[in-house]
Amino acid sequence: MNIKNLIKKQEIQLLIFVLIFSTMITIISPAFLTLENLFDLLRGSSGVAILAIGIFLVLLSGGIDVSSTTIAIAGQYIAINVMMAMGVNNIWFAFAISISVGISLGAINAIFISILNLPTLIVTLGTSSLFHGALLEFVGTRSINSGNLPRAIKEFGKYKILVLERANGSEYGLSVFFLIMVLVVILTWLILRYTMIGRGIYAIGGNQDAAERVGFKVKKIKLFVYCYAGFLAGIMGVMHVALIRSANPQYLVGSELSIIAAVVLGGTRISGGVGTISGTMIGVILITVLEKNLVLLGLSSYWQKFFVGLIIVMGVIITYGDLSRKKRDENSSAKAIEPSSQVNSASQVNKGDVL
């Protein structure tokens, strides 16, 4: 692949944008470009990245999922409550509970979407309202603060896989969160690249009818996608409580749209079939850097929402925008003549553009 083609790829454009933005921040505030700040950034965004991978898979299959944050908070809050009620102080136990809650709730999504074949946006809107209402009504609304959290959770939050020393002798390091994220990325990449289910996700996102005729088990694949998204949300739930050291069932819910935005900015098509994990990761980095560091550029935090919105609008214009009228007319008439124009996106499956 030569350089010209490389620049045309959306991930690369995005990466260049992130780099320019980071350079700007570094020039204005040199504190940004330290290893410590980078580690902090990775620790803070690993959870969001894992959730984003779940949403990425859903988008890839041609759906949309607005319930993932609710599932994450449900897994987290139930896990913490069970741990405290049973007096268990073990991080694996927390993950086990949170992940099982995540998979079960994901399976409920999957029943409506894959078996009953209902529209994904409306279903996940409904289930997120259902899950969150049930969580608040039947499990509780009490916020559990740092003092009452099981010790294992707090230790997990502080655990580092790489420890470095500051000039004054105190320590900092790379959090275990980063390792979990890397494992999730590798696992997802392997699934997408080497399994029939993974190839099927691209295929049904590109053209569901064609995928079905080729022999992909559409229902089974969708079931897998939503359960896997629930599984990832379960992992993220525990990471989130360890990160902020407080479990509140009202947290996280409401941030799903900005995570979807990050995935879409990373080049994943909302109509499905096209998208890469690396793009998703860059999208998450972009949104996180933007949200956390506008203040370093001297802009008050009030501008944050505006700029994130602006970036999303610009991003979608670049991805979908077709400013020249002539080209668009050609496109739509081509579509009218040849109804299977979606094959275009389906054919990208073969290129192996997973990462």
Partner 1 sequence: MSLARNQSLALLALLVIIATTLSIALPSKFLTVINLQSMASQFPEFGLLALAMVLAMITGGIDLSIVAIANLCGVVAAYILSKSIGMEIAPSIAIFAAIIAVLIVSVICGLINGALIAKMNVPPILATLGTQGLFLGLAIVITGGHSISTFPEEFSFVGNANVAGIPVPFMIFTAAAIVVGVILQRSRQGFDMTLIGANFTVSKYSGIDNTRTIIKTYVIVAILAGIASLIMISRANSMRPGYGEAYLLSTILVAVLGGTDPDGGFGNLWGVILGIFILQLTQSGLNILSISPFFTKFIWGAALLSMLVVNFYLPKIVEHRKLERARFRENNRDIAGPE
Binding track, positions 34-73, relative to partner 1; x by CB under 8 A: ------------------------------x---------
Stretch of residues binding partner 1 (CB under 8 A), selected from 35-43, 155-163, 236-244, 331-339: 331-339
Spatial neighbors of 223 by CB under 8 A, at least 6 apart, are 107, 110, 114, 115
Q: Which residues pair with 164 in a beta bridge?
A: 172
Question: In angstroms, rounded to a whole number, what is the distance separating the alpha carbons of residues 277 and 295?
Answer: 29
Q: Which helix (H) or strand (E) holds 72?
A: helix 68-86
In whole angstroms, the minimum distance from the beta carbon of 36 to partner 1 comes to 30
Stretch of residues binding partner 1 (CB under 8 A), selected from 11-19, 165-173, 180-188, 308-316: 308-316
Q: Say whether residue 316 binds partner 1 (CB under 8 A).
A: yes
**Total residue count of the chain as it appears in this document:** 355
At 234, which amino acid appears?
Answer: G
Q: Say whether residue 302 binds partner 1 (CB under 8 A).
A: yes
In whole angstroms, the minimum distance from the beta carbon of 64 to partner 1 comes to 7
In whole angstroms, the minimum distance from the beta carbon of 88 to partner 1 comes to 27
In whole angstroms, the minimum distance from the beta carbon of 66 to partner 1 comes to 8
Size of the site for partner 1 (CB under 8 A): 53
Q: Say whether residue 324 binds partner 1 (CB under 8 A).
A: no
In whole angstroms, the minimum distance from the beta carbon of 153 to partner 1 comes to 25
Question: In angstroms, rounded to a whole number, what is the distance separating the alpha carbons of residues 90 and 83?
Answer: 8
Q: Say whether residue 254 binds partner 1 (CB under 8 A).
A: yes
Q: Say whether residue 129 binds partner 1 (CB under 8 A).
A: yes
- DSSP assignment of 227-289 equals HHHHHHHHHHHHHHHHHHT-B-TTSSTT-HHHHHHHHHHTT--TTSS---HHHHHHHHHHHHH
Token pair belonging to 30: 């040199």
Judge whether 355 and 284 are in contact, CB under 8 Å: no
Closest CA to 223 of 104, 340, 335: 104
Q: Say whether residue 264 binds partner 1 (CB under 8 A).
A: yes
- CA pseudo-torsion sign 48, 54, 60, 63: negative
In whole angstroms, the minimum distance from the beta carbon of 168 to partner 1 comes to 36
Q: Say whether residue 122 binds partner 1 (CB under 8 A).
A: yes
Question: In angstroms, rounded to a whole number, what is the distance separating the alpha carbons of residues 36 and 291?
Answer: 18
Find the binder of partner 1 among 271, 334, 340, 352 (CB under 8 A).
271
Find the binder of partner 1 among 303, 330, 340, 347 (CB under 8 A).
303
Closest CA to 43 of 292, 306, 321: 292
Q: Say whether residue 297 binds partner 1 (CB under 8 A).
A: no
Closest CA to 29 of 277, 227, 299: 299
In whole angstroms, the minimum distance from the beta carbon of 336 to partner 1 comes to 5
In whole angstroms, the minimum distance from the beta carbon of 329 to partner 1 comes to 10
Q: Say whether residue 343 binds partner 1 (CB under 8 A).
A: no
Q: Say whether residue 114 binds partner 1 (CB under 8 A).
A: no
Q: Say whether residue 126 binds partner 1 (CB under 8 A).
A: yes
Helix (H, G, I), strand (E, B) or coil at 338: coil
Residues that bind partner 1 (CB under 8 A): 64, 112, 116-119, 121-123, 125-134, 136-137, 141, 254, 257-258, 260-261, 264, 270-271, 300, 302-310, 312-313, 315-317, 320-323, 328, 332, 335-336
